[in-house]
Amino acid sequence: MAQSVKGTRDLFGNEMGWFLRIEDTARGVFARHGYEEIRTPILEEIEVFKRSVGESSDIVNKEMYEFTDKGGRHVVMRPENTAGVVRAMIQHKLLVNNDPKLLYYIGPMFRYERMQAGRYRQFWQIGAESFGIATPESEAESLLMLMEFLHDLGLKHLSLSINSVGTPECRPAFHAAIRDFFQARETQFCEDCHRRIESNPLRVLDCKVPGCQAALEGHPVITDHLDEASLKHHARLKELLTALGVAFEENPRLVRGLDYYTRTAFEVLSSDLGAQSALLGGGRYDGLVKHLGGPEVPAFGWAIGLDRLAMLMQQLHGNAPQNPPALLIPLGEAASLKALTLARDWWSQGLAIQLDTRGTNLKKALTSANRQGTQLALILGDGELEKGVVSAKDLSAGTQETWLLEEVPARLRNR
């Protein structure tokens, strides 16, 4: 029997229920903040990621689903969505006047990762990006939106960590400091860090290997090397968050490794997630639009993993809330036609009615309704038809009432 491809999975039932609930919540919150949804293709040219995510990153180096299509184009199934959004913005000339542009996306991403709990090769992300605004206020706004979203999902035990990675101008001095520090302790660092210190020194700071974390004790701190404007920016963001009552901690090891990342970097951790504690990450990427061939446009954004969020929701709240429709069960031919007519009328009034169109007997219909989790069955047999009523059977309570047909919409609304 065919199976889903390793690292991918089918979403249905309860997990699907949580996905929908999370997506609906995101759409509601983001729309209130003036963010518009954008959907970019899953396939992008490989250059989009090489030039954005970066050739020194694991994502580009080891994890991309890339292939040559029948027309000889070298394409990638997107490993993340920021690069695609920026590509789209440039292609459609949406950033030319430097007007703010607030966008969000929801969709599947693909990374050929080593398999572990909560890590998939096809996973989903929700992300928000704001273009054209360079202020700490725009970051505070985006973080407030994020917190509102997480709060609306009922998530607790979250912590926000922030840092500043400065600008490409102030980074060489910091790179020199971190290289000196590294060289004095070379043997204590892992092989990957030896590679990183050459290609992407900031990345040494967020190496997850315990030995490297220990060796980093007393490392130079980037906020000591910030230029004046970056320092002011960072101080203002902290001032805003404090005044808004958004709790945060400063984490000098939190970095985004590539040159177009500027100033603010942040992540949100959840103590309910165990080893996979990072729920999301983001930051400012003022250099990216230009780097991908567009105008010079500042930008700030973040991405959250939907799979991990759904797992957390299940852990905290149990199964996704369900609201199954009432099931209308007609018995006999005359009742079947009447049921179609009635249901059409009720659907048009916005009521949730599932119609049993199988033409089975009542016992079978009720047994399968019970199995499917139906809570209310509306039975329409010859007797009911004659009197202009339905028998409304509450399947969980086991009680039954008679409702006049014209009362049904109001009664369903009141349930």
C-alpha 347/C-alpha 351 separation (Å) is 5
C-alpha 389/C-alpha 391 separation (Å) is 7
The correct pick among 18, 49, 123, 266 for binding ligand AMP (CB under 6 A) is 123
Both tokens of 311, joined, read 């797992």
Decide if residue 280 touches ligand AMP (CB under 6 A): yes
Q: Of 268 and 292, which CB lies nearer to ligand AMP in the complex structure?
A: 268
Decide if residue 283 touches ligand AMP (CB under 6 A): no
Residue whose pair of structure tokens reads 């000339």 in the numeric block = 93
Q: Rounded to an integer, what is the distance from CA 229 to the centroid of its chain?
A: 32
Q: Of 304 and 390, which CB lies nearer to ligand AMP in the complex structure?
A: 304
The correct pick among 58, 66, 80, 192 for binding ligand AMP (CB under 6 A) is 80
DSSP-assigned states of every residue in 206-263: G---HHHHHHTTT---GGGS--HHHHHHHHHHHHHHHHTT---EE-TT----STT--S
Both tokens of 326, joined, read 């009432």
Least Å distance between CB 273 and ligand AMP?
Answer: 9
Nearest to 255 by CA among 342, 330, 196, 188: 196
Least Å distance between CB 322 and ligand AMP?
Answer: 25
Least Å distance between CB 63 and ligand AMP?
Answer: 8
C-alpha 229/C-alpha 206 separation (Å) is 25
- Using CB under 6 A as the binding criterion, the count of chain residues that bind ligand AMP stands at 16
Asked if residues 294 and 89 have their Cβ atoms less than 8 Å apart, the reply is: yes
Partner residues linked to 330 by β-bridges: 380
Q: Of 286 and 307, which CB lies nearer to ligand AMP in the complex structure?
A: 307
Nearest to 226 by CA among 165, 176, 135, 285: 165
Decide if residue 15 touches ligand AMP (CB under 6 A): no
Torsion angle, alpha carbons of 169, 173, 179, 182, to 10? -110
**Site track for ligand AMP across 297-326, x = CB under 6 A:** ------xxx-xx------------------
The correct pick among 25, 40, 125, 262 for binding ligand AMP (CB under 6 A) is 125
Decide if residue 233 touches ligand AMP (CB under 6 A): no
Least Å distance between CB 6 and ligand AMP?
Answer: 13
Q: Which stretch binds ligand AMP (CB under 6 A): 100-108, 115-123, 371-379, 387-395?
A: 115-123
CB contact burial 168-206 (16+ within 10 A = b; e otherwise)? eebbebbbebbeebbeeeeeebbeebeebbeebbbbbbb
Asked if residues 380 and 334 have their Cβ atoms less than 8 Å apart, the reply is: no
Q: Of 94 and 278, which CB lies nearer to ligand AMP in the complex structure?
A: 278
C-alpha 89/C-alpha 51 separation (Å) is 16
Least Å distance between CB 45 and ligand AMP?
Answer: 19
The correct pick among 119, 175, 219, 238 for binding ligand AMP (CB under 6 A) is 119
Decide if residue 235 touches ligand AMP (CB under 6 A): no
Nearest to 35 by CA among 133, 123, 108: 133
Least Å distance between CB 275 and ligand AMP?
Answer: 12
Both tokens of 322, joined, read 């369900």
Going by the DSSP 8-state scheme, the letter that residue 17 receives in this structure is H
Parallel, antiparallel, or unpaired for β 158-164 and 249-250? parallel
Q: How many helices (H) and strands (E) does the chain have?
A: 15, 16
Q: Of 104 and 120, which CB lies nearer to ligand AMP in the complex structure?
A: 120
Least Å distance between CB 386 and ligand AMP?
Answer: 58
Q: Of 257 and 305, which CB lies nearer to ligand AMP in the complex structure?
A: 305
Q: Of 131 and 261, which CB lies nearer to ligand AMP in the complex structure?
A: 261
Least Å distance between CB 280 and ligand AMP?
Answer: 5
The correct pick among 113, 152, 259, 345 for binding ligand AMP (CB under 6 A) is 113
Least Å distance between CB 95 and ligand AMP?
Answer: 22
Q: Of 125 and 375, which CB lies nearer to ligand AMP in the complex structure?
A: 125
Residues that bind ligand AMP (CB under 6 A): 80, 111, 113, 119-120, 123, 125, 278-281, 303-305, 307-308
